[in-house]
Structure formats: structure tokens, C-alpha cells
A = this chain, B = another copy of it.
Amino acid sequence: MSLSEFELIERYFNSAFSQGLSPGISLGIGDDAAVISPRAGQQGCICTDVLVADVHFPAAADPADIAQRALRVNLSDLAAMGATPVCFTLGLTLPAADEKWLSRFAAGLLAASNRFDCPLVGGDTTRGPLNIAITVYGEVPVDEALRRSGAREGDSVFVTGNLGKGRTALEALGLGKGGDNIDEIGASKGIKRSELTPYQKNFLHQCFYQPEPRLAFAAAARQYISSAIDVSDGLYADLGHLARASGQAMYVDAAALPFAEAVIALTDSVQRQSAALFGGDDYEICFTAAIDSTPALEVIAAESDVVITCIGEVAAGTGVTVLDDGNIVSIEGNHGFDHFGGAEK
């Protein structure tokens, strides 16, 4: 017997997510809408990200991984605002009411939800091609939200964590549309997927399915940050958004770009530079701050268990310029990840 929609939602979401309301949630899952009680002195932040099967993840991936990724990439947007998560809603479209799939998906979602203190408060489950639309709601003190538009001439450009891992994972683990395309990135070093070490496999899997939204660092560092964005489309495209919104030029020193050991081991320098600038899916925070804020930012980063790296500076002008040993890196044909027709541009 197949489960009815109501039983299905009841079993896998209501029960898993309804043990006690979080502070700030007056009415959770199970009514026409959830009710949120804003705290005094706070503003709300709201954003939506959609993940589509075989575009953003392989349809056959572990549903727990898919769920983790879906919530975490949304939370990364809240981090870029300097906000703290309050709750989220889920718009889940599924080809069939598969209990096994749903129980794994709910388990992953619950794990991420608990990890970031962000309860599910509502949503909609319906039939169709696999599609996961998550809307997260967070809070930020009045007038303190980080925007893309605040970068000032002379500011330093920073990035949290390291870059290029999203793209490297996509290719080394064969997660992209092409599937088995490790040779694209591994060819020059003669690396086959079967030769990835267990550590490398696990590291890249984590990078892709469990990116770490930099919520604690961004919230704690708000007062020092002049502009911020999360690196989802590739550093070049995302810095372009900061440049445009702020009316400034951004200069990046390619030699300063931070990479994880596994990425360095699996790529040559041109490949990893390209993965960082144009690959996307890194979910780090790229931000600008006055030079004299660096010591304070370093302290907050250490307290938040995050490494930050100065990768460039803000100057008068427009656009993004990447310098490698004094030479301008060509961005011909590379514009960051684009879901529609990027290749023809």
C-alpha cells in the first residue's frame, strides 16, 4: 500500500521535526503557515535556493547527502548576511512517495537542522521530477545585515576557508552532468578516481554535500565587514557582484588564493586557479573590510575555527581583475557557473 501524501508528510517530517518549538517559533509545522516571533531589535532575513536533480546533485545520490547540501547551501546565504538561522520551509517535489528515500532524506535534513539550530516549520510535498526548494529565515540586528554594496576603496578582500574544492569534488567524484569525467581535472597528473586516497574521497564528498556555512564567523565579524557574498558561482562572478553593488573595482592576487591539501594534490596550479575563480560551489564567504580591521578579524576567525585569507584589495574603478605574478589572468569564456546557456556567451 502506498502512503498517502498526508501520512507521508506526517511520518517523516512532522514527527521528526516537532519535538518542542525553538525560541522564536510560536507555531511550527502542521498549520497553513508557521508563526515566528521576531526578537526585539532584530530584522528578518529570507532567501530561497533550489536544487534540481542532475543539475545540482546526481539524482542517485544518498538522499541524506542531498538534504544536507540543500539546507547548508541556503544557510550559506544567511551567513553572507551576517544573520543567525531561525527556521526553514521545504518545497519537496518527488517522483514517487518512496519511504526508503524519504526516511534517508529526512534523516539528513534533521541532522543539518539540528546542527545549525534551524527547525523545519512548514512546506509542501508534491509529485514530479526531483526538486528541492528550501527557504531559510534568519535574524540579524537592525541595520547590521551585511550587504554586497558596502565595499570601500582601500578595503582588503578576504575569503574564509579555501577555494576550488567544490569544482574539484564535482569532477574528481564524477558528480557533474557528464558523470565519469575525472580525466578532465586529473589528466595532467595522471590521477584516476580509483587512486584517490580514502581521505581525499571523504574530504571531497564532505566539501560537496556538507559545505560549512560560515554562520558563526560572519555574525561575530559583522561590525568589521563592509560587504559580503557567499562564493557559490565562483569567486570571479561573486566578486563581480560585490564590485557592481559597491561601485568599486576588485583586484585579486591569484597567488594568495587558499587551497586545501587534497585540492593541491589533485590539480595543477592552472586547474585549481580556474576551479577557485570559475568553478563555484565553495560556499565560503568573500568579504571586504578596512585594512586596520585585520587583527580583530583574525581573532574572531580563530575563535570561530575558521581560517581567513586576504586575497586582494578594493580600488576605484569597476570590475574584477585577477593578477598572477603581475600579469592579468584572462577570463575569456569564463564567467562563473551559469545555469542557463553560459557556454554560448
Contacts and interface: CB of A to CB of B under 8 A. Distances in A.
| Max chain B C-beta neighbours (<10 A), residue from A27, A78, A135, A145 | A135
A31 B135 CA distance: 15
Contacts of A338: 4-6
Given A48-B122, A147-B27, A148-B32, A5 B93 contact: no
* Chain copies in complex: 2
B46 A121 contact: yes
Contacts of A142: 37
Interface in A171-216: none
B81 A31 contact: yes
Contacts of A344: 1-2
Interface in A265-299: none
Given A6-B338, A33-B80, A87 B46 contact: yes
Contacts of A47: 32-34, 89, 122
Contacts of A136: 33
Interface in A214-253: 228-230, 237, 245
A200 B6 CA distance: 33
Nearest to A238: B32
B49 A340 contact: no
Contacts of A140: 35
Contact of A26 (B3, B129, B137, B145): B145
A133 B91 contact: yes
Interface string A3-26: 111101000000000000000001
Interface in A102-138: 121-129, 131, 133, 135-138
A193 to B, nearest CB: 26
A131 B52 CA distance: 10
B43 A5 contact: no
A90 interface: yes
A315 interface: no
Contacts of A8: 340
A131 to B, nearest CB: 5
A121 B90 CA distance: 18
A45 interface: yes
**Residue in A2, A54, A136 whose Cβ sees the most chain B Cβ within 10 Å:** A2
Nearest to A230: B32
Contacts of A37: 43-44, 142
Given A2-B344, A34-B47, A46-B122, 5 more contacts: A5-B340, A31-B148, A48-B133, A55-B126, A94-B340
26 contacts: A1-B345, A2-B344, A3-B341, A4-B338, A26-B43, A32-B80, A33-B45, A33-B80, A33-B136, A34-B45, A35-B140, A36-B46, A38-B43, A46-B46, A47-B89, A48-B89, A48-B135, A49-B124, A50-B93, A52-B129, A54-B128, A55-B126, A91-B135, A96-B340, A125-B340, A128-B131
Interface of A: 1-6, 8, 26-27, 30-38, 42-50, 52-56, 77-78, 80-81, 83, 87, 89-94, 96-97, 121-129, 131, 133, 135-138, 140, 142-143, 145, 147-149, 228-230, 237, 245, 335, 338-342, 344-345
